[in-house]
Structure 1
Amino acid sequence: MHMNFSEEAEDSYFFSQPHQPFFILAFISALAGMLLFMLSYKGILNLSVSPVGFHVYVFTYLMFTPAFFGFLFTTFPRFTATPPIDKSVYMRIFSFYYIGATLILLGSIVTPVFSGIGMSIVFIGHFMGTQVLRKIYKTTVMEDKHDIFWILTAMSIGVFAHFLFIIAAFFYAPLMGLSIEISVYLFLFLLTFSVAQRMVPFFSHCTVERNPYLMRSIFILLILHILLEGFYTNSSFIVDLLIGVLIAKELHRWKLPFPNPNPLLWILHIALFWVPVAFILSGLVNLVTL
């Protein structure tokens, strides 16, 4: 009776919404990855893979990406006015992430062979999850696809960066820097900002007209940043300054109420305000370093 009750509860609650298993997996992966990295850093444990590469991969593809899928599998159908994603679909993708993450974390202390197999499995899950979002994008009858287009673009670029990372980790190391640059700027940042510029003004009750050129301008500047860094380190300072000024002007136009009486919104506003400050500081540091 106890076993039946537990299985029923698990089936009805833990897997009932896509964000629940993906968020928990991201949380556990982050904790396990940090623990292994710290033990390696202290010399207690010898990782079978590059510690820096392991650290980057865990946070980018085992923490942020599952969390993104958990969020998008819940909200993307709402953004597009389409039916919710079927449980069998998101559980199949979760299974790839669960098995792959386990092999990667185990392989980091046993053999890089496990890590390679695990990365391949996670990559398949990443690709399949993005294809689910692409299918939703193609089937929606909504005329305004601006926001979901940029969300899908960032997720697709993340798949490409993921592929480059695997090639760099096992076949051609010089691609590692390019993979990290693309994943940070054109995947992690572009995706989070695409979601933020849609949701934060809405939840903050700021009825501001959308800037139709904002995302395209930021996308082009981020590509220029990556290209310049590829040619000469720290040469992207002028692009970083432009991005910082552009986003600062946009946030000023939104007129977000700050400080906000809602603590969650206050945190989101602080995070948004930090973006232009960070890009401007990055540009100044690169200039001084250069």
Structure 2
Amino acid sequence: MPESPIPAARAATFAELPGLLASAPHRLLFLAGSVAVLLSMAWWAVELTWMRFGLGYWPQPSIAPAFGHAMLIQYGLFPLFMFGFLLTVFPRWLNQPALPRARYVPVAGGVFGGYVLANGGLLDLPWLLKLGFVVMLVGYLIGVYTLAAVLRAARARDDHARSCLLALSLGTLGLVAFLAYLFGAPDACAQLAIRIGTFGLLLPIFFTVTHRMLPFFSGNVARGYTVVRPRWSLPVVWVLLLAHLLLDWRGALGRLWLTDIPLALVFAWHALAWQPWKAMRPGLLAVLHLAFAWLPLAFALYAVQDVVYATSGHFMLGRAPLHAMAIGYFGSMLVAMVTRVTQGHSGRPLQMGAIPWSCFALLQLVVLLRIRAELGGDMYLWLVIAAYGWLLAFLPWVLRSAWIYLTPRVDGKPG
């Protein structure tokens, strides 16, 4: 579909920028998240380069580098976008007035400010690392309190809002667990925090938002589309994910198939029930379905890994299933959903455009490269290639998105 003409955006003056950025939750937090997309992977790419090739001097974190990578991506990068989205849509889902800027600016300041400090702390500054996670925790507490207040004020029950709030509450507990580790608690606290980040925070929110929005968007656009949004699947997925989290944390890897096979089947059922063959146009709708396809595939890989381990004791595939989900589903859905929100809330046509398409396509290659790293050979070389591939994929998308967040809406409307 050819792109519709887009009115030229007027650059904001320096004096206008603070008010412009604070005019809507998504504008401020999506800009912060866009910075984090590059910052997190830039540090990790250099760290991997140091591991593989060596550098003259590169300061090492006071914690395991993998802990820093997992925590700041799971609790910093992705949640900046999640808070931006949820602080915007929670009032709409629950028929409440939009939040004033005094309620969401502190969330952005806490989560992003703490994220930046913690990234600095990875350069062999343990005191700054601790301070960063404390500030992030404050941002989470304000965000959870703000969203909980919206939910309490609403009369109608909303399962999607409750699910997202539960996930953010668990994420807050995960940050507490990691802070305990930073202040001397056992490694088990860090391991718990990382698993909560994946299976208690990110995956529940991504699936909950997909469960609500993907059928809605498809039904509004695709002809002959049947909206399928089963109420049973959210509680079922929650129970299975919490069981996976606890089994994994306690080292019961031989029993993970009990959760991962059902999860693979549930996600595959949704992928088919949401009829992607009816929703391949326009591109902004197609990418939502293509991104979700990675989730059942990731859990199919988990299931294969689990069964092989339970029957032979051989742990095959390594972190391939995790990154099929983290880069394939989380990363691709991030590009798809954030592009849609950014286009719509800036007064632009709901179209993908060349730069988002390029980012999405290159990201699919990055997933394959990251999976390839687990299949033998020079693992760290493949990890380095995948990390720089992420930066290459996202750089034009981030620059384009940042320009949109830093300029007024092209249709002249507020927000």
Q: Conserved in 2, the CA contact under 8 Å of 1:30 and 1:62?
A: no
Q: Which residue of 1 aligns with 2:288?
A: 268
Query: Take 2:228 and 2:69, find their aligned partners in 1: how far apart are those partners?
Result: 40
1:65 to 75, 79, 95: 79
Q: Report the secondary structure of 1:27's partner residue.
A: helix
Matching of residue 228 in structure 1 with residue 247 in structure 2: yes
What amino acid maps onto 1:159 in structure 2?
T
Which amino acid is 1:201 matched to?
Answer: P
8 Å contact 1:237–1:283 — kept in the other structure?
Answer: yes
The answer to whether the 8 A contact 1:258-1:266 is kept is no
Unaligned runs of at least 5 residues, structure 1: none
CA distance in 2, matches of 1:210, 1:42: 44
| Residue of structure 1 equivalent to 2:318 | none
Corresponding position of 2:236 = 217
Give 1:152's aligned residue.
165
From the two aligned structures, give the one with the greater helix fraction: 1
Q: In 2, distance between residues paired with 1:67 and 1:199? A: 16
Query: What is the letter of the counterpart of residue 163 of structure 1?
Result: V
Report the CA distance between 1:136 and its aligned residue.
Answer: 0.3
Q: Which residue of 2 aligns with 1:95?
A: 109
Letter matched to residue 183 of structure 2: F
C-alpha displacement of 1:171: 1.9
SS of the equivalent of 2:244 reads: helix
| Matched AA of 2:35 | I
How far apart, CA to CA, are the structure 2 residues paired with 1:271 and 1:209?
18
Q: 1:56 pairs with 60, 70, 85, which one?
A: 70
Note if 1:183 corresponds to 2:197. yes
Which stretch of the first structure deviates more once superposed, 47-56 or 117-126?
Answer: 47-56
Three-state SS of the structure 1 residue aligned to 2:16 is helix
> Partner residue of 1:239?
259
Contact 1:29–1:58 at 8 Å: present in 2 too? Answer: no
CA positional deviation for 1:258: 4.2
Q: Verify the 8 A CA contact 1:47 1:108 in the aligned structure 2.
A: yes
Per-residue deviation at 1:26? Answer: 1.7
Q: Following TM superposition, by how much is the alpha carbon of 1:181 offset from its aligned partner in structure 2, in angstroms?
A: 1.5
**How far did residue 110 of structure 1 move?**
4.6
Unpaired segments ≥5 residues, structure 2: 1-11, 220-224, 311-415
Alignment length, in residue pairs?
Answer: 285
Deviation string 1:80-110 (CA, Å, 9 cap, x unpaired) is: 1111111122112222234322321222215
Q: AA paired with 2:105?
A: M
Please say if 1:23 is aligned against 2:30.
yes
Letter in 1 for 2:134: S
Q: CA deviation at 1:210?
A: 3.3
Q: For residues 146-193 of structure 1, what are the alpha-carbon distances to aligned partners after superposition, in whole Å with 9 as ceiling and x for unaligned?
A: 221111111111111121122223322122222211210121000110
- Where does residue 44 of structure 2 map in the other structure? 37
Asked whether the 8 Å contact 2:218–2:279 carries over to 1, the reply is no
TM-score where L is the length of structure 2 = 0.65
Deviation by residue 1:39-97 (Cα, 9 ceiling, x = unmatched): 23333312233311111122112201111111111111111111111112211222223
Does structure 2 conserve the Cα–Cα contact (< 8 Å) formed by 1:186 and 1:222? Answer: yes
Distance, in Å, in 2 between the alignment partners of 1:159 and 1:190 is: 14
Residue aligned with 2:13, SS:
helix
After superposition, give the CA deviation of every residue in 1:107-163 in whole Å (9 maximum; x if it has no partner).
Answer: 22151001101110111101110110000000012x231221111111111111121
CA deviation digits over 1:244-283, x for unaligned, max 9?
1122223333334445111121111012222122112211
Q: Shift of residue 8 of structure 1?
A: 3.3
For 1:126-165, list aligned pairs within 5 A: 126-141=140-155, 143-165=156-178
Partner Cα distance (1:13, 1:55) in 2: 32
Amino acid across the alignment from 1:56: A
CA shift digits 1:172-226 (9 cap, x unpaired): 2122222211210121000110011011001100443532211111111112212
User: 2:191 matched to 1:170?
Assistant: no
Deviation at 1:241, TM superposition (A): 0.8
- Which range moved further: 225-234 or 55-64? 225-234
Q: CA deviation at 1:284?
A: 0.7
Which one of the candidate residues 187, 203, 208 is aligned to 2:227? 208
What TM-score results when the alignment is normalised by the length of structure 1?
0.91
State whether structure 2 residue 130 is matched by structure 1 residue 111: no
Q: Which residue of the partner structure matches residue 46 of structure 1?
A: 59
- How far apart are the structure 2 equivalents of 1:86 and 1:259? 36
- Structure 2 CA distance for partners of 1:199 and 1:283, relative to 1, 3 Å: same
Give, in angstroms, the shift of residue 286 of structure 1. 2.0
Please provide the CA RMSD for this pair: 1.9
